Chain A
Amino acid sequence: MISKEEVKHIAKLARLELGTSSSRASTDKEIDKMQKNLSAVLDYFDLLKKADISKKKPSFTRATEEQARKDEVTSLNHDMAEKIIKLLPDKKDDYIKVKTIL
Chain B
Amino acid sequence: MNLLELTIKELHSGLKKKDFSSTELTKAYLSDIKKNDKNIGAYLKVSEELALSQAKIADEKISSQENITYLTGIPCAIKDNILVEGQNCTAASKILENYVAPYDATVIKKLKENGAVILGKVNLDEFAMGGSGENSAFGVTKNPHDKTRVAGGSSSGAAAAVASKEACYALGSDTGGSIRLPASFCGVVGLKPTYGAVSRSGLIAFGSSLDQIGPIAKTVDDAKIIFKVISGKDKLDSTSKNYEFSDLDINIKDIKIGIPKEYFVKGIDPEVEKIIKETIKKVESYGAEIKEISLPNTEFALACYYIIAPAEASSNLARFDGIKYGLSENQKDLLDVYLKSRGRGFGSEVKRRIMLGTYSLSSGYYDAYYKKAEEVRNLIRQDFENVFKEVDLIFCPVSPFPAYKIGEKLDDPLLMYLVDIYTVSVNLAGLPGLSLPVGKIGSQGKEGGLPVGLQIIGNHFQENKILSVASFIEKMLQ
Contacts and interface: CB of A to CB of B under 8 A. Distances in A.
Partners in one complex: yes
Interface of A: 2, 6-7, 10-11, 13-21, 33-34, 37-38, 40-42, 44-45, 47-48, 50-53, 56, 58-61, 63-64, 67-69, 80, 83-84, 86-90, 96, 98-101
B368 to A, nearest CB: 9
Contacts of B355: 7, 10-11, 14, 16, 34, 38
Pick the most buried of B314, B375, B382: most chain A CB atoms within 10 A of its CB: B375
Contacts of A6: 359
For the residues of A in contact with B, the DSSP-based class is loop
Interface of B: 99-100, 102-103, 208-209, 235, 238-239, 297, 299-300, 302-304, 306-307, 314, 318, 321-328, 330-335, 337-340, 342-344, 346, 348, 351-352, 354-356, 358-360, 362, 369, 371-379, 382, 412-414, 417
Given A16-B343, A88-B325, A99-B334, A48 B304 contact: yes
Contact of B328 (A15, A17, A68, A89): A89
Nearest to A45: B303
A57 to B, nearest CB: 9
A14 B338 CA distance: 10
B351 A58 contact: no
A51 B325 contact: no
Contacts of B382: 56
A56 B339 CA distance: 41
A83 B335 CA distance: 27
B375 A58 contact: yes
A64 to B, nearest CB: 7
Contacts of A19: 343
Contact of B326 (A11, A14, A17, A89): A89
Contact of B342 (A15, A47, A89): A15
A98 B337 CA distance: 9
B413 A51 contact: no
A37 B327 CA distance: 26
B306 A56 contact: no
Nearest to A82: B102
Contacts, number: 152
Contact of A17 (B208, B343, B374): B343
Given A11-B355, A14-B354, A48-B376, A67 B323 contact: no
Given A14-B358, A51-B372, A90-B330, 12 more contacts: A38-B356, A40-B412, A41-B413, A42-B356, A44-B302, A45-B303, A48-B376, A51-B379, A58-B371, A89-B323, A89-B326, A101-B333
B350 to A, nearest CB: 10
Contacts of A48: 300, 303-304, 307, 372-373, 376
B300 A51 contact: yes
23 contacts: A7-B355, A15-B338, A17-B339, A18-B343, A33-B348, A34-B351, A34-B355, A38-B352, A41-B306, A44-B306, A45-B307, A47-B299, A48-B303, A48-B304, A48-B307, A63-B208, A67-B238, A86-B100, A87-B100, A89-B327, A96-B323, A98-B334, A100-B334
Contact of A99 (B314, B331, B351, B414): B331
Contacts of B335: 15
B239 A67 contact: yes
A34 B359 contact: no
A64 B374 contact: no
